[in-house]
Amino acid sequence: MEIDGLGRQRQALRRAWFRVTREQHVREQHLRDQRLADFRNRRFGLFLHWGLYTLAARHEWVLSAERLTDEQYRPYFEHFDPDLHDPGLWADEASGAGMRYMVLTTKHHEGFALWDSALSHYTVGHTPLGKDLVGPLVDAFRARGLGIGFYHSLIDWHHPDFPVDGLHPRRDDRQFIEAAGGRDIVRYREFLHGQVTELLTRYGDIDTMWFDFSYPDLVHYGERVWGGKGRDDWGSPQLMELVRRLQPGILVNDRLDLPGTADFSTPEQYQPAGPMTVDGRPVAWEACQTLNGSWGYDRDNLDWKPVDMLVRMLVDTVSKDGNLLLNVGPNGRGEMDERAIATLRGIGRWMRLHERSVIGAGPSAYRPPADCRYTQRGDRLYLHVFAWPFGHLHLPGLAGRVRYAQFLHDASEVKRDIADPGQPAHGISSGGQPPGTLTLQLPVQRPDVAVPVIELFLSG
């Protein structure tokens, strides 16, 4: 059948539209690939949990854990006035600790927004403080060269259209549940998407969007959570499309209940045993960890992790090709707890001398000795010694492959030796090692740093 002129025009327009769409998709994917490479190079970030729960000072889930009513929780809203808050000081502490990006809780499950949202009165703009907190923090961290990420809760226990479920603070209140029977998830979904739109159009380029969380089949304390929510409730496909359209290069985490669409995975409060995979494929990942077991400010929680443990966690993460997002929960006056500051500064002392073993570094194909971790950056192999041995450290597979070795903290040489595999042990002479083993000669005294690092210069 012959195609008329109008038909040919339509075909040409359709081909042009598909070509432009394909080219745009390629550009956006290239942009995300670049940002993902940058994300992996940064390796170490600061998580900031801050909200009304800070005034309760007993965990960020206090609203749900104690089954509080809106009336019982309202005093925290009426008294939220962090008058000592200085975003530049927070950014300085993060930078001094060697961190390269931050993720801020713009809104947690309690529903309180740290920016003056036009879609709700439950915002910082209606507290005694009365002004935006997100913008000044973004500006301060960005001014110091740190990347910017937004945490945003998919859950909102304050919103009148958020359906009650097994995590909701009023989950055991039969009268409340009956009165809330008309709640409309469609209206809530529009609100959720609207607030995300505000965040991604007010504060410039955002590196990561950290949603939290989906729970369609969650088992909590041995029982399945009733009324759990997932992709259909959040409108996750549409939400992901919205985020990609507003910020084409942004990275999105894995908590939207959309398998195969996330840019990175987010193990929480545990250290993966090895590099993470999804369906057998290696993936970027970011372990989020607390300083003391609580995300929000928790005055009486004394489970503070020591600096050397946190440094080992950072090294362990990078050795498995991951990032570490380490949390601080500021207090109600707007300051970081002195214990948190001391911890960050302790990490910073180690990072000042050793940062090149983690920032911009990644895993190595070489197998480290027991109680050690390798990271690698080009032709530099970094041996992190978690448990200090006496006298010698034997490195499998590195004989003839190392042209120089030094401690990273002071650039002092570490002598090397390759023992004859057939050499018998005799008296004060140690026996030979398996073929290919490089032996390092170590001082008896362990270097006075959180984790000693030996920098190995590999041969070409």
Strands (E), 178-228: 208-212, 219-220, 223-224
Q: What angle do CA 122, 128, 109 make, to 5 degrees?
A: 30
Rounded average pLDDT over 184-196: 98
The class level of CATH for 372-458 reads mainly beta
418, 400 Cβ separation under 8 angstroms: yes
**Fold matches, 5-356 and 372-458:** no
Angstrom distances, CA of residue 107 to CA of 257, 284, 346: 19, 25, 29
CA 28, CA 21: separation in Å to the nearest integer?
10
104, 113 Cβ separation under 8 angstroms: no
Of 62, 93, 128, 57, whose CA–CA distance to 298 is shortest?
Answer: 57
pLDDT band at 424 (very low <50, low <70, confident <90, very high): confident
Q: Is the pLDDT of residue 1 over 50?
A: no
pLDDT band at 25 (very low <50, low <70, confident <90, very high): confident
CA 432, CA 412: separation in Å to the nearest integer?
26
Terminal-residue alpha carbon distance, the chain: 67
Of 266, 237, 263, 231, whose CA–CA distance to 249 is shortest?
Answer: 263
Question: Which pLDDT tens digit goes with each residue over 211-235?
Answer: 999 999 999 889 999 999 999 999 9
Cβ neighbours of residue 137 closer than 8 Å, sequence gap 6 or more: 48, 87, 90, 91, 102, 104
30, 265 Cβ separation under 8 angstroms: no
CA 81, CA 333: separation in Å to the nearest integer?
7
- What fold characterizes domain 5-356? TIM Barrel (3.20.20)
Burial state string for 195-211 with b = 16 or more CB within 10 A and e = fewer than 16: bbebbbeebeebbbbbb
Q: Is the pLDDT of residue 9 over 90?
A: no
> Comparing 11-20, 246-255, 312-321, 431-440, which segment has the lowest mean pLDDT?
11-20
Locate the domains of the chain by residue range: 5-356, 372-458
Question: Which pLDDT tens digit goes with each residue over 141-177?
Answer: 999 999 999 999 999 999 999 999 999 999 999 999 9
436, 397 Cβ separation under 8 angstroms: yes
Question: Which pLDDT tens digit goes with each residue over 92-105?
Answer: 999 999 999 999 99
Question: Which pLDDT tens digit goes with each residue over 316-367?
Answer: 999 999 999 999 999 999 999 999 999 999 999 999 999 999 999 999 999 9
More confident call, 223 vs 68? 68
336, 47 Cβ separation under 8 angstroms: no
Sign, Cα dihedral of 339, 345, 350, 354: positive
